[in-house]
Amino acid sequence: MGCSEVAARSHARRLEREGWLVRFPMTRGEGSLFVATRTGTSVLGLRLRAAGSPAPTWWAHHCGCAWVAAWLTLRGHQFLGDRELLDDRGWSGEISWRDHKGAHVSRHRPDLIAIASTGARIAVEVELAQKSVERLRAIITMHACWRAAGTTGGVIYVCRDQDGCDRVNRVAEQTGLIATDGRGLRIELVETIKRQTIEACERVRADRAGAVNIDAREAATG
């Protein structure tokens, strides 16, 4: 949005007072998570179930998803979030894998769906906690099938560290999704997403301040 931190905190407090958001404090010094309430989603015109209290084990993941949402927004893209994907079973794919515990069949949905200005849809997976290789392969195979069917144009994986990026890339190469030649896979570090988002925000603020200065000069000379 290009707001300063002070303005963002003020907006959040106002929405909290109105009952549109609810605050969930994290570890001291880590800030809080803000979650839209039933009233908040209703005001937005979204017929979605409000999220419950986020468990501490999911805090880092929720923060990662929020950074990716901001990163997409500042690039002019729209997106479908967790509650929208939960409400649309079309974004829930069946995956199967076998490991030392036996055979498994489960449902999986991406964390976000990015919607480009062209209408292209790209799945987003925020992979901060390591999954088993077998389960990761099943998920990436699902994304390869979605891309082949034209459901999406591919998938973006956001990882915690370089080891995570390398691991995703190795597994993805076995499915035909290859990051190095643009064939349906993009891999980013979460710290890169944060840095680029902050840089984009600063550019928005600078452009806005420049526009205000130009208007002021024109008014003074008009």
For 52-68, write each residue's pLDDT tens digit: 899 999 999 999 999 99
* pLDDT above 70: residue 220: no
Instruction: State the angle between helix axes of 59-73 and 190-221 in degrees (0 to 180), rounded to the nearest 10.
Output: 40
Q: Say how many C-beta atoms besides its own lie within 10 A of residue 190's C-beta.
A: 21
Q: Quick one: pLDDT at residue 85?
A: 94
Q: pLDDT higher for 168 or 2?
A: 168
pLDDT in tens, 16-26: 999 999 999 99
Distance between CA atoms of 167 and 28, rounded to whole angstroms? Answer: 32
Q: Is the dihedral of CA 4, 73, 79, 110 positive or negative?
A: negative
Q: State the pLDDT confidence band at 219, using cuts at 50, 70 and 90.
A: low
Distance between CA atoms of 212 and 39, rounded to whole angstroms? Answer: 35
Give me the mean pLDDT over the 175-192 stretch: 86
Domain ranges of the chain: 1-54, 58-221
Q: State the pLDDT confidence band at 95, using cuts at 50, 70 and 90.
A: very high
**pTM score, whole prediction:** 0.88
Residue 197, class by beta-carbon neighbours within 10 Å (0-12 exposed, 13-18 middle, 19+ buried)?
buried
Output the CA–CA distances (angstroms, integers) from residue 175 to 59, 93, 159, 189, in the order listed: 30, 16, 19, 21
What is the percent of the chain with per-residue pLDDT over 90, rounded to a whole number? Answer: 68
